[in-house]
Structure 1
Amino acid sequence: MLFQVGGQGTRPTFFEMAAAQQLPASLRAALTYSLGVFAIRRPFLHKILDYDDEFFALLMMVLESHSLRTTDASFAESLYGLRRRAANISTKKSTSIAESSEKSHELGLRKNQKILSVVFLVVLPYFKSKLQSIYNREMEARLQASLWGNDEPRLDEAGFLLDQGETSAQSVGRSSANSSSMTRFRKKISALVAFFYPWIHATNEGLSFAYQLLYLLDATGFYSPGLQALGIQVCRATGQELMDSSSKISRIRSRELERLHGPMWLKAVQRVLLKCMYTSLDYAQTGLIAAVFFFKMMEWWYQSAEQKMSAPTVYPTPPPPPPPKVAKNGVPLPQDQSLCPLCCQKRANPSVLTVSGFVFCYSCIFKSVSQHKKCPVTLIPASLDHIRRLFHDL
């Protein structure tokens, strides 16, 4: 069986479906990062970050509802030129997958399918995110309990350990507060979530992987179990469908403008608000993608600038100092650099005098410095401590 990577007719490829599925998560990460950057200078934005699940769910609720209403596709699917169609699931064995997918293009989404699509696209991911956060808190509490015992961590607000007396006094106050029924109910819910969530998560991931593998092998027309539960297949939009969707949007908006009631000034205000909403929804896709790209560019720009500013200044290597000059009354240097200036013989046990840099035999320079207290070539004052043994005489 061949892998379906190039697409067959209007059937999307596996990579198109995977990209459309991963887009909301990438968009959320980019928006969270962007708000975090703005919150550094605008502290009131931290309130949005504290409720990032609710904020993102509300945003996706608006985008998904508008996209399904106008294009019969989710926000990410419409960006990739995909559409959702009601699938005709036949029980006859002679009906092939290709025939059922071709028939499914003729049917649009019903109203209940659009509502359930919003539930699967927004509501269920929101509850999954909240369950994940509850599970993480419960696991963290259990880890702290295993480290500190059955009591809560004995730390003050500054993070320091409390004395036993302070701990006992605070435990008495907490025991009275924890005796409420609401606290016990929350603990039971957290314990149930901690027990069942790993199984629910593993089942969901296993089913998703199985459906994606079957879709890649062209064994099913449904990319996920949620699409099969809704009876929906995803297909590529044709040019005619794209033109029909634009005319459909204009008809829907004209009907909404005709239904306005009230005095003339109220109708004018409502018309302006609706047009502003239409404009923002029309450019929501390109605007969000452009904003994400812009913020990532700004991140790269400022990060590179900070790295340049924080990087240590690298200075060029200074040139070596000029060799010391031979004194007029000093010992002349032999033409052969391998000879000792004092004995004019091949250097034995070569040693350097650090004040001048010239190399001599160890016995020769030791006797000369001991007697004259200076370099025999440059007449620079020296001592025996300035003699260094050379183990590689080049």
Structure 2
Amino acid sequence: MKRIKNYSVTALVLAAALFMACLNSCKKNDGYVKEVSTDMSKPAAVTNVKVKNFNGGAYITYDLPNSDNLLYVQAEYRINDKTTRQTKSSYYSDTVTVDGFAKSQEYEVTLYSVSRANVKSDPLVVKVHPDTPFYKLIKPTLTITSDFGGVNIKAMNPNQKDIGVILLAFDKSTQALEVVDQHYTKVDTINYSIRGYPAVSQKFGVYVTDKFGNISDTTVVNITPIFETLLDKSKFSVYKTPTDSPTAYGWEVPYLWDNKTDGYSNGWHTAPGAPAPIQVTFSLGVSAQLSRFVLWERPNQYAYAHGNPKDFSIWGSNINAPQDVRLPDYAPVGTVIGDWINIGNYHYPNPPSGLTPGFTNAADADFVAAGVNFNIPPGSTPIKYFRFMVHDTWSNGDFAHMMELSIYGNPQ
């Protein structure tokens, strides 16, 4: 006699169920999806409709028809001259939201009750009158002014809505304004600069758009960018003051302007355990109104770690041989203490990946290795001496390091 394996009844039943499931799920898909219901009767329309308008849209509430076959309520509407939108709300809800309208005016919204067999009710037209869309509220706050090597753009977005600020510049080849930058954001205070233009008068335009494709009117201006150049590093020199941090490991101050950023050469490194503040001071060799600076932190395995600066301030002085003073950890831009003035407070950008420092990826490391640009507030006073003060590092330690600084501005 052959030996017979002893399977339990439960196991056999489970195996049979899995086999049938496989037969059903592994059939070839012929591209045809059956209706979820064979009831082809037309559902009734919603009733007792009410509208509550908001900026750029409206909430439409209603009573659902008494039907077990209802699947959802659908709204169809035009938001501008080009775009038709469609939004749906399931039978679990008594409200459908319509939004993206270009203006504060009356619009028609067509509502349909839709059955499980995809049968629509008769159309029900509802009128809405949205309040002013956010992109139109933001546009009056938008300003464009001259900046070093380009233009500075500011706007207020207190509701933190997703918007785009689009910059146009005159193109000689097309003899028209063409898009040169698209800045998408949801921050409440918009303030950024676009550079790379000569210091000659030219035409720029700027407008606001939203995620629905609506666009504001365009502000067109003639602007002359302020002259900007990379300051000559051969003129930089050490200006050691009593409050400057002692250096360590052979990483001395002049390595901050030797144009070596690879992380394998020396940079500037302070001694661990030294008293606060963590800072370095040096001479620019010329009086200059600064526009920006590029910071290269220590890259590779040190990215977002170790002694790389996280929060820091820039102070400066335009006085020959400025007297040293212990500066506060934090002060508003423009604060004057002794011979020194605060010209900027900064936070090094968080990892672009959104990952936590210590768990960053290769893209974050590449971001650090490329150097990061920091703008000096427009209209800052010219300075001859540059002081970099570190408030926090990515390891919260008592020392700091960085590879290189490139400083831009207008020498006086």
TM-score of Structure 1 vs Structure 2, range by shorter chain:
under 0.3
Structure number with higher strand proportion: 2
Q: RCO higher in 1 or 2 (8 Å CA, sep ≥ 6)?
A: 1
TM-score w.r.t. the length of structure 2 is 0.16
The structure that is helix-richer by fraction is: 1
TM-score w.r.t. the length of structure 1 is 0.16
